[in-house]
């Protein structure tokens, strides 16, 4: 961060505030974009597990009938 200090000395506070705001917003967007596929995969896996368990429970009941 030492190389960043001369740059920040030349910039005014308003510009730094805007830069910080933009970086926070972009970071949040990036996290959402990266997290979304992970959540989708997790939900798909959970659904598959539940479906498998449901199918396994349905097999004995069909055999009894």
The larger pLDDT score, comparing residue 24 to residue 59, is at 24
pLDDT digits (tens, 9 = 90+) for 19-49: 889 999 999 988 888 888 888 888 889 889 9
Would you give the DSSP letter of residue 11?
A: S
Please spell the DSSP secondary structure of 35-52, one letter per residue. Answer: HHHHHHHHHHHHHHHHHH
Statement: the pTM of the whole predicted model exceeds 0.75: no
What's the token pair of residue 49? 């597990």
């Amino acid at each position: 961060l030492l190389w960043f200090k001369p740059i920040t000395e030349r910039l005014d506070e308003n510009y730094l505030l805007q830069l910080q705001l933009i970086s926070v917003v972009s970071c949040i967007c990036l996290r959402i974009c990266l997290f979304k596929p992970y959540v989708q995969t997790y939900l798909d896996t959970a659904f598959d597990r539940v479906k498998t368990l449901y199918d396994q429970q349905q097999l004995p009941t069909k055999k009894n009938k």
